[in-house]
Amino acid sequence: MTIAFGPQDIQREHDWLGCQLGWRFLYAPERTLREADVALITLNPGGDRYQPPAWSYEGGDAYCSERWGDCEPGAHALQRQVQRLFAIMSVEPTAVLSGVLVPFRSRRWESWPQQA
């Protein structure tokens, strides 16, 4: 599988659109683009302050092992919901292609000024 775009393309669009909060593309390792049989694609990364750009999460699966807000790693309410979804589906989180449709971070989708 050939990936037709990369981090530099997302960064270029981020800058062109005037986004201020950074971007994120995958919540899983890059290898899941080639290997995963299951995908979870959400709308866009949330947050109200800048976070550095992230093409992928190589530390496993961000829904299970990343610290979100003031919560312990994997303990944020959304993370627990997704963990439960994976458990119901009987899939290992690290085997799922987890990513976003729109990689640009915003506090709420409705607050993003460039929405179509």
Domain ranges across the chain: 26-103
Q: What is the pLDDT of residues 7-34, one digit of tens each?
A: 999 999 999 999 999 999 999 999 999 9
Strands (DSSP E) contained in the chain are 38-42, 96-100
Which pLDDT score, from 0 to 100, does residue 108 have?
A: 80
pTM: 0.87
Task: Tell me: pLDDT of 116 over 80.
Answer: no
DSSP 8-class letter at 114? T
Of 84 and 5, the one with more pLDDT:
84
